[in-house]
C-alpha cells in the first residue's frame, strides 16, 4: 500500500498562464509509504485529501509526481499527470474523500483512479 496527498482545489493565484508552475486540482503533491505520519495540518487542509491506495507501492505510483523540464531547465509542467475527474464515477469517488482522516479506498476504486490518470503532455 501507499498513501498520497492530493490537491483537490486549484491554487487561488493560478491563472491559465501560470498553471504549469503549480500543482493543480486532482494532481498529487507527494507520495509516501503506507502508515506515513501525516501532520494535523496536512490532514485538515481543505485543499488536500490523503488517500491510502491498496495493492500498490510508492515506486509504482512515482510517476504521479513527475515534472517535466526542457533541456535548458525550463519548466514545462510541475506535474505531468493528473486524475481526470470528469471520467465516469471518478468525481463521485473524489467527492467521498474527507479531510481530517486518511481515506481508504477499495481496489475497484483504485483501478478507476489509475485508469483516470492522464498525461497532460498529450492533452
| Contact residues: another protein, CB under 8 A | 5, 7, 11-13, 18, 21-23, 29-32, 36-42, 45, 47-48, 58, 62, 65-67, 69-70, 72-75, 78
User: Least distance from C-beta 63 to another protein, angstroms?
Assistant: 8
Cβ-based nearer residue to another protein, 7 or 110: 7
Q: Minimum CB separation from another protein for residue 112, in Å?
A: 23
Q: Is 14 exposed, middle or buried (0-12, 13-18, 19+ CB in 10 A)?
A: middle
User: C-alpha grid cell for residue 52?
Assistant: 491510502
Determine contact, residues 97/103, Cβ cutoff 8 Å.
yes
Judged by beta carbon, residue 14 or residue 91, the one nearer another protein is 14
Which CB sits closer to another protein, 39 or 86?
39
Shortest reach from residue 101's CB to another protein, in Å: 14
Hey, which residues does 48 pair with through a beta bridge?
A: 7
Contact 35, 25 (CB under 8 A): no
Least Å distance between CB 6 and another protein? 10
Which is closer to another protein, CB of 78 or CB of 87?
Answer: 78
In angstroms, the CA 10 to CA 23 distance is: 8
C-alpha cell at 79: 506535474
Paired strand residues for 65: none
Amino acid at each position: 500500500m501507499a498513501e498520497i496527498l492530493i490537491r483537490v482545489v486549484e491554487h487561488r493565484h493560478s491563472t491559465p498562464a501560470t498553471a504549469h508552475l503549480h500543482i493543480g486540482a486532482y494532481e498529487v503533491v507527494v507520495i509516501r509509504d503506507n502508515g506515513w505520519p501525516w501532520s494535523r495540518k496536512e490532514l485538515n487542509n481543505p485543499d488536500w485529501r490523503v488517500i491510502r491506495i491498496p495493492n500498490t507501492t510508492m515506486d509504482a505510483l512515482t510517476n504521479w509526481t513527475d515534472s517535466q523540464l526542457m533541456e535548458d531547465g525550463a519548466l514545462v509542467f510541475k506535474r505531468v499527470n493528473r486524475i481526470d475527474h470528469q471520467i465516469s464515477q471518478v468525481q463521485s469517488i473524489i467527492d467521498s474523500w474527507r479531510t481530517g482522516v486518511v481515506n481508504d479506498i477499495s481496489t475497484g476504486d483504485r483501478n478507476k483512479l489509475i485508469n483516470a490518470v492522464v498525461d497532460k503532455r498529450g492533452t
